[in-house]
Amino acid sequence: MADTVAIRVTVDASALVFDKRALKASLLVAGREVAAQARRDMRSSAGSGIIYRGPGGSASKYRGGYKRGAHQASAPGEAPSRITGTLAKSIKVRAFRSGEGVSIRDTAFYALFLEKGASGGGRMKSGGAFVRGKRGVGKVRKLEPRPFLTRALQEREASIEPRLAQAARDGIRMVRMKL
């Protein structure tokens, strides 16, 4: 049996150069995949929450108020159900200028309310009670989260992580130094 010889090489950090172009391109592809997954989840969400009937309310243009018939909203924990497609269309993906990250944002004003949940309603009176209009005490309304971007990221994480690691490894190269 042959003896093995091990050689340990120490490389000065100044001899390595990191080219961020491959990583930036991979991050952009990964961001687009997450956005596409979120859109797919919204398209496939049939909704199993509250049923709204017909037009009306301040959110009429967002929940299909211009349409006749009923709309079934998503239940807490589900991806938001689709009515007009505004939420899905407003997902934007941008790579950082530095090449070290990607931003996936939903620019619809209500996107964060759906993603993280919200509470509110009524007007605060000096005594701490909520008042709705001129009639008595109202109650605080609570919107439970309907995550769509975080869920899409979790669904795609297993396939994205190894590709980003490979892109980072491919971007490192050795440069020749004068001795």
How far is 91 from 106, CA to CA, in rounded Å?
4
Residue 129's pLDDT is 55
How far is 21 from 165, CA to CA, in rounded Å?
14
Is the pLDDT reported for residue 53 higher than 80?
no
Residue 84's pLDDT is 78
Stronger pLDDT, 23 or 94, i.e. the higher one? 94
Tokens matching residue 26: 């991979």
Helix (H, G, I), strand (E, B) or coil at 172: strand
Is the pLDDT reported for residue 25 higher than 80?
yes
Residue 38's pLDDT is 94
Express each pLDDT in 124-173 by its tens digit: 555 555 555 555 455 667 888 999 999 999 999 999 999 888 888 888 77
How far is 106 from 141, CA to CA, in rounded Å?
23
H-helix or E-strand spanning residue 70: strand 70-72
Express each pLDDT in 65-104 by its tens digit: 555 667 777 888 888 887 778 889 999 999 888 888 899 9
Stronger pLDDT, 34 or 68, i.e. the higher one? 34
What number is the average pLDDT over the span 43-55? 75
Is the pLDDT reported for residue 3 higher than 70?
no
Residue 155's pLDDT is 92
Residue 74's pLDDT is 83
Q: Where are the domains of the chain?
A: 13-46+77-174
